[in-house]
Amino acid sequence: MTRRRIGRGLVYLLAIMIALWILIPIYLITITAFSPKDVIYSWPKSLFPRVISLETLLFFIKAQYVLDSLKNSVIVALLSLAISLVIGAPAGYGLARHTFPGKDVFRLMILSTRAFPIVILSIPLAVTFMQWGLYDSLISVAFLHVAMALPTTILVTSSVFMGVSKELEEAAQVFGCNRMQAFMRVALPLALPGLAASAIFTFVLSWNEVFAATILTLYNRTLPARLFIQLQASPLPFRFAGGFFILIPAITFMFFIRRYLFSLWGITLR
């Protein structure tokens, strides 16, 4: 009884330590981003902000290229999301509903595309995009992000569609739908939350991706790519504000989709 209690306590302790390991930097970045310049440069640091100000964040936003690259980031992320869903969801549906020769091999091959490091993919792609006249365009970055997101999108949507009973679509067909209507009226609405989760996953992936975006663009950089280059040469407030800006969407989206991520792993969240 007491031994079990001690074991439980240890597990909780470990969980708390891991959480702190992640949360403390996030907390420090956040309070620093909301502190005025002189506080940021002062030492020792205080754990609790005494002055809250938007000075640092405004400084960051007003910096050259920041708003442009923010816009680029949003466009690239939305493009990646749309393209990967348009290609990935039907593939996932096919995997969920049909058996065909080589299905298991296909499933494995989808994943194996992730075995190539982005470094290896990006440079030949940069050359190819130059030949095609796509270099330094947002769509080229989006294409690479789609390539990165597609395996997850396909596997996630296939498990989402597998969760929608086939009998429901058959019932819809018996009661007057053709296959397409049965999909639109029954399978799609039921799969929507899962599809949304997978879409947001792609969005966050694209939002956070640095390397490919850096190599494939020169002037039309996304926010992470821009920061990646500028951070070393920037003043401290700029770095903290940048870090905060990159963090926020990712955390917000993760919060939205965590229940679906858990359900994909077979854990129910109460």
Partner 1 sequence: MAEIRVENVRKTFGKVKAVWDVNLNVRDREFTVLLGPSGCGKTTLLRCIAGLEQVDQGRIFIGDRDVTDLPPRRRQLAMVFQSYAVFPHLTVFENIAFGLRMQHKPKDEIEKQVQSAAKLLHIEELLDRYPAQLSGGQRQRVAVARAIAVQPQVLLLDEPLSNLDALLRLEMRAELKRLLEEIETTTLYVTHDQVEAMSLGDRIAVMRDGQILQYDTPLNVYNRPANLFIGGFIGTPPMNFLEGEIRTEDDRVVVHTGGGDIYPPPKAQAMLRQLKEPEVLVGIRAENIETLHTPAEGTLQAEVLVVEPLGSHNLITMQLGPEQIKVNTDADFKAQPGQTLWLRLNADKICWIEKSSGRAMYPD
Binding site for partner 1 (CB under 8 A): 165, 167-168, 170-178, 181, 186, 189-190
Closer residue to partner 1 (CB): 31 or 182: 182
Q: How far is the CB of 101 from partner 1 (least distance, A)?
A: 12
Contact 268, 218 (CB under 8 A): no
% helix, strand, coil for the chain, step of 5 = 80, 0, 20
Burial of 110 (0-12, 13-18, 19+ CB in 10 A): buried
Closer residue to partner 1 (CB): 70 or 190: 190
Q: Could you say which DSSP state residue 35 is in?
A: S
Could you give the count of Cα atoms lying within 13 Å of 154 in the half-sphere of its Cβ? Answer: 19
Q: How far is the CB of 175 from partner 1 (least distance, A)?
A: 4
Q: How far is the CB of 193 from partner 1 (least distance, A)?
A: 10
Q: How far is the CB of 181 from partner 1 (least distance, A)?
A: 8
Q: Which tokens go with 190? A: 């039921």
CA distance 225 to 218: 10
Closer residue to partner 1 (CB): 76 or 187: 187
Q: How far is the CB of 68 from partner 1 (least distance, A)?
A: 42
Closer residue to partner 1 (CB): 25 or 189: 189
Closer residue to partner 1 (CB): 188 or 261: 188
Contact 212, 190 (CB under 8 A): no
CA distance 35 to 166: 55
